[in-house]
Amino acid sequence: MSNTMRTEFCALAENEAFARAVAAAFVMPLDPTVEELTEIKTAVSEAVSNSIIHGYAECSDRQKAMVVMECTVSKNGKLIISVEDYGVGIEDVEQAMEPMFSTGDDEERSGMGFTVMESFMDRLKVKSERGKGTTVIMTKYLDIVSGI
């Protein structure tokens, strides 16, 4: 048996904390370790921040710019989290995933978002189309449920 939840929220900076909390609350019944919970929350934070900051960089009305987060967990401890926006999209996904690459202000952005997601999750897939948006799909196998 699996469980799924989906939430949609405005692309506002304060909703990044909301997304972290929702993802953490969703996996709590599986009794993740503190380390797993921290990794999940951090990866979600990076994915949502990318949508808000970069995906909707050209959007003047953030109340209409939406981010969708969906989480699915299976009984064997496989967690899949997708974060989707309908913003500008990524021109070159491969380049965007390189450490230190950023389209933002160098003083404010480290260019490590995808690197952090990759290091904290077991799998990371990014689908994007210019002018249509980006979907980040992260997979993590929880140790306790997976028996590792």
Q: Which residues participate in catalysis according to the annotation?
A: 46, 50, 109
State the DSSP H helix or E strand holding residue 19, giving kind and residue range, or none if neither: helix 15-27
Could you tell me the maximum CA-CA distance found in the chain, to the nearest angstrom? 47
The residue assigned the tokens 């799909």 is 137
> Could you give the 3-state DSSP secondary structure of residue 105?
coil
The vertex-121 CA angle with 118 and 46, nearest 5°, equals 65
